Chain A
């Protein structure tokens, strides 16, 4: 079975500070992992994804995530937060079929 756990439903950082959003996964098959971002009143947009190969994945808007098999983690980071990064972030793992299993989301607040 596949699942993801996002630690921390709310994260606040100061503008310019490091952003770290945590995601741990459980998967019975080699995982395909995704991060999505949702801005207010919008749908989910793909930030980045890990399939195979390089474990450090770079996405849009300066975000990146590192797949660590030993830790079953796929944490999302950004070196310097911007006000426009304030949004809801979802981690997801793809199951054996086409289903995605989403985490409960982390709301990121950026403090000026």
Chain B
């Protein structure tokens, strides 16, 4: 199993540019999560999907952030326009999505975003 795949691993962009982060969850997993990690705020849940449907996006900081999951094997997190304060490591995680069960989240390696 390849695990959760994220791309790119590193992204450097200039303020105002559009940034798209990509995630391929583990095959067979029905839940997908986007997190942001910074020194100041730690690990924050941005949004999560069950069966490709967004369930809770209350962690999305602003309208500049959007996430999609067009199919079970792909998700994107888009920032438009990007700002320096968006600089962080963005993690994608997936899980089987067993409600009431012993669901475990598996994390990707992260995308380190730097907005200049």
Chain A interfacial positions (CB closer than 8 Å to B): 32, 34, 36, 41-46, 49, 51, 90, 94, 97-100, 102, 104-105
Q: Which of A98, A102, A105 lies in contact with B103, CB distance below 8 A?
A: A98
Q: Which stretch of B60-68, B77-85, B106-114 is in the interface?
A: B106-114
Q: Which 6 A-B pairs have the closest CB atoms?
A: A43-B107, A51-B102, A44-B107, A104-B42, A102-B43, A43-B109
- Is B75 among interface residues, defined by CB-CB distance under 8 A? no
Instruction: Using CB atoms, name the residue of chain A closest to B92.
Output: A43
- With A98-B99, A99-B56 known as contacts, the answer to whether A46 contacts B104 (CB < 8 A) is yes
- With A32-B102, A45-B107, A49-B102 known as contacts, the answer to whether A98 contacts B43 (CB < 8 A) is no
For A99, the chain B residues whose CB sits under 8 A away are: 45, 48, 56
For A34, the chain B residues whose CB sits under 8 A away are: 104
Which residues of chain B from 82 to 102 have a CB within 8 Å of any chain A CB? 91, 93, 95, 97, 99, 102
Q: Which of A43, A45, A51, A98 lies in contact with B95, CB distance below 8 A?
A: A98
- With A43-B91, A98-B48 known as contacts, the answer to whether A49 contacts B104 (CB < 8 A) is yes
- With A32-B102, A97-B99 known as contacts, the answer to whether A43 contacts B42 (CB < 8 A) is no
For B110, the chain A residues whose CB sits under 8 A away are: 42-43
Would you give the shortest CB distance from B1 to chain A, in whole angstroms?
A: 14
